[in-house]
């Protein structure tokens, strides 16, 4: 059976999809991934075919926050949204010619369900965060910040209605124009069309449980974890073996404040710890900070995190899950969107600290939060919780997808 897996975003969006593709291949099926061109070489290193779709996403999110950049105007943002829908529709229509089942991940899969409908393929939508699904239990995520998680249900309902109107304003006309070209009827509302009536939730049920939603049926598979057979590099092993467990600092694909690496190293020293600083897309360079600090590139979290004293990160779904699985306390510095949800969950579960946001970040705030994170109570709760994280989410999802392809499981393309 042939599967087309599509996502738009950074490594945190692509890695779970790659884990699913690898699992499908292990079950003697063919999976191709349509993702931004940044990840083509990495995806293909696993023996999975990659279809580059969209722009270089690193140019959109990498670098430092103080780097000179012109913020797009509302008109330019609208133009970018329309171009994305058109390009996505054309690229996926071509790729879907050789597919039996399609799966789209994330709310930017605007054209994917329409492509599946035009190609008459079974389609599955998946999300990496419960907060992206409409529910009175929580407000919608917010691109430029966040709403309080303590808002009452009626307020959350109003915010979700506003969110749906925003989707329609930005995408509906362009999407319906593309659907007309494909011989499809127009849709009334974009968001339920994207999410479908049976969305999948790729999160661990203990860490990020499914919310209450009346209009849709959520299928929670567990997290899709990618296994990396390579050992830790020798230089990392030497550093880890040369002293007490360090504190890990990494912001993934997020922009960072200038001199963030210096702030991270200083904070680790203030609490009597060594530091490992991941460069990430902000290109944090701590290579000359001293012998008590190590700069690294992309390294398998599953092998590194259990050997650290604490994990300081941006709050992406995959990193939060890996940190929780490691049994080490974590300090989340949320930057945007669903990262505020995961910071909230880490704090609520007692397995770490919801730290300062990027806008609030300074040395004193970081040191204060790190001291709390390193308390023995947090460490013990993190160790206990780590044993609850499930590791077979990709296997569960792969077998469900195969069932859909075989016609054993029904799925609905439209959520309307």
Condensed to tens digits (0 to 9), the pLDDT of residues 185-206 reads: 999 999 999 999 999 999 999 9
Give the separation between CA 254 and CA 395, rounded to whole angstroms.
29
Question: What range defines the domain where residue 185 resides?
Answer: 2-225+391-405
Structural contact between residues 54 and 80, judged by C-beta atoms closer than 8 angstroms: no
Q: Are residues 200 and 249 in the same domain?
A: no
Q: What is the pLDDT of residues 279-311, one digit of tens each?
A: 988 888 877 778 899 999 989 999 999 999 999
* Residues 162, 205 share a domain: yes
Residue 233's pLDDT band (cuts 50, 70, 90): very high
Based on the fold, state whether residues 142 and 283 are members of the same structural domain.
Answer: no
Q: What sign results for the dihedral spanned by CA atoms 74, 80, 83, 85?
A: negative
52/135 same-domain check: yes
DSSP class of residue 205 equals T
Q: Span 382-395, mean pLDDT?
A: 96
Residue 360 burial by CB count (10 A; 0-12/13-18/19+): exposed, middle or buried? Answer: exposed
Cβ-contact 55, 10 below 8 angstroms: no
Residue 415: inside a domain: no
In angstroms, the CA 271 to CA 374 distance is 9
Q: Are residues 68 and 37 in the same domain?
A: yes
143 pLDDT band, cuts 50/70/90, is confident
Note the pLDDT of residue 415: 45
Question: Which pLDDT does position 38 carry in this prediction?
Answer: 87
Residue 397 and residue 350 in one domain: no
Which of 190, 125, 186 shows the shortest CA–CA distance to 163?
Answer: 190
Give yes or no: residues 154 and 66 share one domain.
yes
How many angstroms separate the Cα of 203 from the Cα of each of 103, 333, 366? 16, 20, 28
Q: How many folded domains does the chain comprise?
A: 2
Residues 192 and 245 in one domain: no
In the predicted model, what is the mean pLDDT of residues 371-377? 95
377 and 397 co-located in one domain: no
pLDDT in tens, 313-366: 999 999 999 999 999 999 999 988 899 999 999 999 999 999 888 888 899 999
CATH number of residue 330's parent domain: 3.40.50.2000
Q: What percent of the chain has pLDDT over 90?
A: 72
* One domain for residues 247 and 340: yes
Same domain, 82 and 173: yes
| Residues 104 and 14 occupy one common structural domain | yes
Nearest to 57 by CA among 13, 9, 15, 11: 9
Over its C-alpha atoms, the chain yields an Rg (Å, rounded) of 21
């Amino acid at each position: 059976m042939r599967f087309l897996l599509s996502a738009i975003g950074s490594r945190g969006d692509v890695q779970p999809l790659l884990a699913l593709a690898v699992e499908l291949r292990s079950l003697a099926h063919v999976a191709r991934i349509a993702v931004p061109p940044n990840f083509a070489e990495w995806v293909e290193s696993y023996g999975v075919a990659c279809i580059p779709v969209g722009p270089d996403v690193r140019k959109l999110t990498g670098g430092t926050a103080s780097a000179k950049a012109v913020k797009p105007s509302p008109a330019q943002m609208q133009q970018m949204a329309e171009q994305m829908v058109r390009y996505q529709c054309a690229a996926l229509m071509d790729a879907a010619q050789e597919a039996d089942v399609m799966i789209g991940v994330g709310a930017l899969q605007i054209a994917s369900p329409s492509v599946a409908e035009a190609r008459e393929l079974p389609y599955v939508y998946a999300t990496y965060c419960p907060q992206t699904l409409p529910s009175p239990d929580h407000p919608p995520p917010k691109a430029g910040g966040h709403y309080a998680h303590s808002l009452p249900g009626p307020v959350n309902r109003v915010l979700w209605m506003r969110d749906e109107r925003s989707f329609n304003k930005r995408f509906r006309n362009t999407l319906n124009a593309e659907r007309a070209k494909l011989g499809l009827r127009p849709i009334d509302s974009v968001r339920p069309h994207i999410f479908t009536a049976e969305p999948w939730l790729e999160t661990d049920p203990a860490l990020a449980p499914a919310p209450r939603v009346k209009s849709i049926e959520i299928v929670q598979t567990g997290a899709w974890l990618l296994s990396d057979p390579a050992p830790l590099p020798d230089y990392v092993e030497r550093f880890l073996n040369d002293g007490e467990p360090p504190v890990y600092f990494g912001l993934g694909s997020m922009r960072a404040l200038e001199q963030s690496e210096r702030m991270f190293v200083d904070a680790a020293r203030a609490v009597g710890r060594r530091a490992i600083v991941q460069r990430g897309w902000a290109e944090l360079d701590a290579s000359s900070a001293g012998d008590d600090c190590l700069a690294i590139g992309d390294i398998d979290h599953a092998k590194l995190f259990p050997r650290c004293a604490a994990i300081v990160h941006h709050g992406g779904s995959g990193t939060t899950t890996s940190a929780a699985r490691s049994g080490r306390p974590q300090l989340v510095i949320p930057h945007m969107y669903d990262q505020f949800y995961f910071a909230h969950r880490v704090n609520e579960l007692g397995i770490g600290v919801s730290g300062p946001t990027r806008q609030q970040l300074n040395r004193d705030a970081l040191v204060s939060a790190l001291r709390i994170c390193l308390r023995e109570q947090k460490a013990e709760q993190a160790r206990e919780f780590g044993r609850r994280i499930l590791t077979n989410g990709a296997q569960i999802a792969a077998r469900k997808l195969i069932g859909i392809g075989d016609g054993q499981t029904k799925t609905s393309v439209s959520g309307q």
